[in-house]
């Protein structure tokens, strides 16, 4: 089945695609968190963390355990997708 070539999506629609339903989990260091989110509470340097982000990149949750990030996604009814 081919997609209709007349289907169009705006940049705004694309930015909100999956909002509240889809997210991604990413491993980060505490140093990366401090650089990307300067308003985040001060963290000890060099700690491996797992962050749950919304589809639009909004940070939703931070943990030192990947399983906890997946549990939080499930609790919030967010389907985590793989990002490479």
pLDDT in tens, 57-83: 889 999 999 999 999 999 999 988 866
Q: What is the pLDDT of residue 9?
A: 65
Backbone torsions φ then ψ of 57, nearest 5 degrees: 95, 5
| Most confident by average pLDDT, 15-24, 33-42, 50-59, 63-72 | 63-72
pTM value is 0.72
Token digits of residue 11: 């940049």
Residue 52 neighbours by CB distance under 10 Å: 23
Pairing mode, if any, of strands 22-29 and 79-81?
Answer: parallel
């Amino acid at each position: 089945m081919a997609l209709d070539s007349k289907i169009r999506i705006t940049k705004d629609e694309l930015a909100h695609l999956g909002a509240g339903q889809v997210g991604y989990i990413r491993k980060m260091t505490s140093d990366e968190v401090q650089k990307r989110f300067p308003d985040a509470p001060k963290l000890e340097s060099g700690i491996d963390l797992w962050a749950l982000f919304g589809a639009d990149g909004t940070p939703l949750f931070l943990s030192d355990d990947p399983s906890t990030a997946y549990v939080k996604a499930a609790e919030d009814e967010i389907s985590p997708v793989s990002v490479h």
